Amino acid sequence: MQISIVIPAHNEAAYIKDCLNSFVAQTYLPNEVIVVDDNSSDNTFDIAQGFAQKHPWIKVFQRKSKDEHVPGKKVVDTFHFGLAQTSDFDLIGKFDADIILPPQYFETMVNRFQSNWKLGMCSGLLYIKKEDNWVYENISDKTHIRGPIKLYHKACFNKIGGLRPGVGWDTVDTLLAKYHNFETETIPELHVKHLRSTGHGYSSQNFLVKGEALYKMRYGIVLAKIAALKMAWQAKSPKLYVQTIFGFLNAFLRQKPHYVTRQEGKFIRMYRWKGIWSKL
């Protein structure tokens, strides 16, 4: 299977060498890894370019964008820039530059996709370092495919219409995959090291945007409150609950465009409620 990987990278000089070394060490090499340096002020580009000179299947591009940090949208826009540079592929991946893959990662992925024609998305699990141990990054269920290691089958990627440019892109893609009858799978034995824990660079203001994302996914106010409560509980900050709901209501009053159609939104709400009732 032809594999294309796009890695959006902004000021990743501290991590990208270890990341790309893990790609080079794969037992099943991807056909191309496209690193998109998004307006970095460090030597991210030079490090990536060094790998490209040694490995023809690694390609590096530079994208000029605004310095302003726009959660979700900036990384997806950078991914789409890299996607436009790809060759034909069977599997397309959006990976972060601060991860280290186990050597058999893509070999395992290809085996999974080839053995299940309904599989639309697949990944390992993210682990972060605490003291001297690597522990599961427990911010979501182990069945959820995380944003830094997204690998899609081309049929699924095209059916869901690619990635939505905004916060929540790495949730709505999974929900739309299920809407279109694709399966998703995480492989527990594939431990991916996440060198920088999720939440780095986020301020409490970003939870306004998270609330907006819940509106754009057509959660409805009750589901939005449950999701906001869960996020605030994980962050141990009641203030974040208020900010998330305010973001949801602000998007509702301004009638911002949705990520999904009404029919897709109906499925998403039913799917979410089914998941909630199954845990009670």
Token pair 């790998």 is found at 51
Structure tokens at 148: 């830094």
Structure tokens at 258: 């949705």
E strands within 64-157?
91-95, 99-100, 119-130, 133-136, 149-153
State residue 201's pLDDT score.
45
Is domain 3-194 classified as CATH 3.20.20.140?
A: no
Whole-structure pTM over 0.85, yes or no? yes
- Half-sphere exposure (CA, 13 Å, Cβ side) for 260? 29
Give, for all 280 residues of the chain, the pLDDT tens digit.
999 999 999 999 999 999 999 999 999 999 999 999 999 999 999 999 999 999 999 999 999 877 566 678 899 999 999 999 999 999 999 999 999 999 999 999 999 999 999 999 999 999 999 988 999 998 888 999 999 999 999 999 999 999 999 999 999 999 999 999 999 999 999 999 999 987 644 455 577 888 999 999 999 999 999 999 988 887 788 888 999 999 999 999 999 999 999 999 999 999 999 989 987 7
Delimit the CATH 3.90.550.10 region(s) of the chain: 3-194
Q: Are 84 and 124 in contact (CB under 8 A)?
A: no
State residue 200's pLDDT score.
46
State residue 203's pLDDT score.
52
E strands within 56-182?
58-63, 91-95, 99-100, 119-130, 133-136, 149-153
User: Rounded to 5 degrees, what angle do the CA atoms 243, 245, 246 make?
Assistant: 60
State residue 70's pLDDT score.
66
199 sits in the region (left: phi over 0; alpha: psi -120 to 50; else beta) called: left
